Amino acid sequence: MQIATWNVNSLAVRLPQLLDWLQANPVDALVLQETKLTDDKFPQAEIEAAGYQVSFHGQKTYNGVALLSRGPQEAVVKNIPGFADEQARVIAATVAGVRVIGGYFPNGQAPGSEKFAYKMAWLDALQAWLRQELAAHPQLVLLGDYNIAPEDRDVYDPVAWAGQIHCTDEERTHFRTLLGLGLVDAFRLFEQPPKSWSWWDYRNLAFRKNQGLRIDHILVSAALQPRVSACVIDKLPRKNERPSDHAPVVVTLKD
DNA sequence: ATGTCGAGGCCACCTCGA
Predicted local distance difference test score (pLDDT) of residue A14? 97
Predicted local distance difference test score (pLDDT) of residue A130? 98
pLDDT, tens digit (0-9, with 9 covering 90-100), for A140-194 = 999 999 999 999 999 999 999 999 999 999 999 999 999 999 999 999 999 999 9
Question: What is d(CA A74, CA A96) in angstroms, rounded to the nearest whole number?
Answer: 9
Angle between helices A169-180 and A114-136 (to 10 degrees): 10
For residue A166, CA distances in Å to A28, A48, A188, A219 come to: 29, 35, 18, 17
Predicted local distance difference test score (pLDDT) of residue A163? 96
pLDDT, tens digit (0-9, with 9 covering 90-100), for A49-68 = 999 999 999 999 999 999 99
Q: Measured from the CB, is A109 under 7 Å from any atom of strand B?
A: yes
| Nucleotides on chain B within 7 angstroms of protein Cβ | 1-8, 17-18
Which of A28, A104, A146, A185 is catalytic? The answer is: A104
User: Would you say A246 is a known binding-site residue?
Assistant: yes
Predicted local distance difference test score (pLDDT) of residue A156? 98
Q: Which of residues 205-234 of A touch strand B (CB under 7 A)?
A: 205
Question: What is d(CA A103, CA A66) in angstroms, rounded to the nearest whole number?
Answer: 9
Torsion angle of C-alpha atoms A185, A126, A176, A197, degrees rounded to 10 = 50
Predicted local distance difference test score (pLDDT) of residue A5? 98
Predicted local distance difference test score (pLDDT) of residue A51? 98
**Strand partners for A80:** none
Q: Which residue is nearest to nucleotide B5 (CA to C1')?
A: A202
pLDDT, tens digit (0-9, with 9 covering 90-100), for A91-140 = 999 999 999 999 999 999 999 999 999 999 999 999 999 999 999 999 99
Please, where are the H alpha helices in chain A?
11-24, 44-49, 114-136, 158-161, 169-180
Angstrom distance, A13 CA to B12 C1': 21
Whether A246 is catalytic is yes
Among residues A240, A229, A243, A235, the alpha carbon closest in space to that of A216 is found at A235
Q: Name the region of A34 (left: φ>0; alpha: ψ -120 to 50; beta: rest).
A: left
Which of A28, A145, A154, A185 is catalytic? The answer is: A145
Predicted local distance difference test score (pLDDT) of residue A233? 98
Predicted local distance difference test score (pLDDT) of residue A195? 97
Average pLDDT, chain A: 98
